[in-house]
Amino acid sequence: MSENIIRAYAATSPHSALTRYDYDAGDLQADEVEIKVHYCGICHSDISMIDNAWGYSSYPLVAGHEIIGKIVRLGSNTKGLYIGQTVGVGWTAASCQHCNPCIGGNAGYCNEAVPTIVHMGGFADKVRAQWQWVIPIPEGMDIAKAGPLLCGGITVFEPLLQHGIHAGHKIGVIGIGGLGHLALAFFNAWGCEVTAFSSNPTKYDEIRAMGAHHILDSTDSASLDSAKGSLDLIVSTVNVPLNWSTYMDLLKLEGKLHIVGAVLEPLEIHAFSLINGARSLTGSSTGSPIQLRTMMDFAARKNIKPIVEEFPMSKINDALQHLRDGKARYRIVLKNDFA
């Protein structure tokens, strides 16, 4: 078999089950790294792309963008990496490397950035990415759990950097799922006072163990009223519409409601929710290479890792259905079992 053949699982149409799909990736480009996949996480963005929920999927589509593996080949112009090194690849596989965002440390916002899923993702035995987007994995990190940090982790970590958050700040987290449980861990380790919003009392002990100092019942108006004007930042990880003005009222002067969950409907916020208190509505994406490296180093130092369930990659359709059914606790990781 040619060294350029990659074995994968692909969707051939929206909502379809994934089937084996082997393809010729062509010659390795000078700026590319080829990685043998050991583990690959699954997130809701994979399902959104499989189902064409965002309207730009093309098929066959090989999803998977929380990839951990070892380098097996290096292009001639790659730098700072070596064969056999343990590395990861997240949402982005390549960018132009010459626009202002790229040279300014914000390559995640490059207009020519190529999502790993579009480039052909990690539901495969191998994957390729531009060398700048190949992230070294710190020694000693559990590689079976590291993959979700490269999407879910950086998604909730980037707001800390974007807003200059420090240990004196108070942060709220909406949605204690795949993203939210990592947000609690990161914000607590950053030194912040952390409040979780949850309507499920049976999860409260678990939420506290994840890093929350306080829990507010998101369905209880009295509980929410008690916290008005108390938070510097609220990070929303959900992908469904909420009463956003209610959460704006919980912010301090110049506080920010930060959206990382991909809500497809327009956000309805009253103008006075912004005007009163000079509050802001903000958002962020999935990080730049330097932000990803910073996040991984911090996670390794603070022993931050997701709570995961592991499936063999050959059972990928079972794993996807488990996520679709809302049963994932809290991230799913596929282990490569190609022969």
Alpha helix stretches (DSSP H) within 81-191: 100-103, 116-119, 143-146, 152-162, 180-189
Q: Cα torsion for 286, 298, 148, 174, to the nearest 10°?
A: -70
The more confidently predicted of residues 20 and 2 is 20
CATH 3.90.180.10 residue spans of the chain: 5-151+287-335
CATH 3.40.50.720 residue spans of the chain: 153-283
Q: Is the pLDDT of residue 1 over 90?
A: no
Q: What's the pLDDT at 307?
A: 98
Using an 8 Å Cβ cutoff, are 174 and 234 in contact? yes
Which of 241, 240, 189, 179 lies closest to 212 in space, CA to CA?
189
For residues 232-261, average pLDDT = 97
Instruction: List all residues 6 or more positions away from 313 whose beta carbon is below 8 Å from its beta carbon.
Output: 9, 40, 123, 334, 335, 336, 337, 338
How many residues in total does the chain contain? 339
Mean pLDDT of the chain: 97
Which of 109, 114, 123 lies closest to 47 in space, CA to CA?
123
Q: What's the pLDDT at 79?
A: 98
pLDDT in tens, 5-46: 999 999 999 999 999 999 999 999 999 999 999 999 999 999
Using an 8 Å Cβ cutoff, are 36 and 70 in contact? yes
Q: 10 Å Cβ neighbour count for 133?
A: 25
Instruction: List all residues 6 or more positions away from 300 whose beta carbon is below 8 Å from its beta carbon.
Output: 138, 140, 141
Q: What's the pLDDT at 339?
A: 87
Q: Is the pLDDT of residue 243 over 80?
A: yes
pLDDT band for position 284 (cuts 50, 70, 90): very high
pLDDT in tens, 79-130: 999 999 999 999 999 999 999 999 999 999 999 999 999 989 999 999 999 9
Distances (CA, A) of 24 to 3, 71, 126, 195, 324: 9, 18, 11, 49, 30
Query: What class does CATH assign to 5-151+287-335?
Result: alpha beta
Helix (H) or strand (E) holding 47: helix 44-50
pLDDT in tens, 166-215: 999 999 999 999 999 999 999 999 999 999 999 999 999 999 999 999 99
DSSP codes, 164-220: T--TT-EEEEE--STTHHHHHHHHHHTT-EEEEE-S-GGGHHHHHHHT-SEEE-TT-
- Rounded to whole angstroms, the Cα distance separating 240 from 256 reads 19
Q: Tokens for 83, please give them.
A: 């064969």
For residues 153-172, average pLDDT = 98
For residues 306-328, average pLDDT = 98
Q: Is the pLDDT of residue 281 over 90?
A: yes
Bridge-based pairing of strands 308-312 and 231-236 is unpaired
Q: What's the pLDDT at 317?
A: 98
Using an 8 Å Cβ cutoff, are 122 and 146 in contact? no
Check: CATH 3.40.50.720 for 153-283? yes
Using an 8 Å Cβ cutoff, are 314 and 131 in contact? no
For residues 276-291, average pLDDT = 97
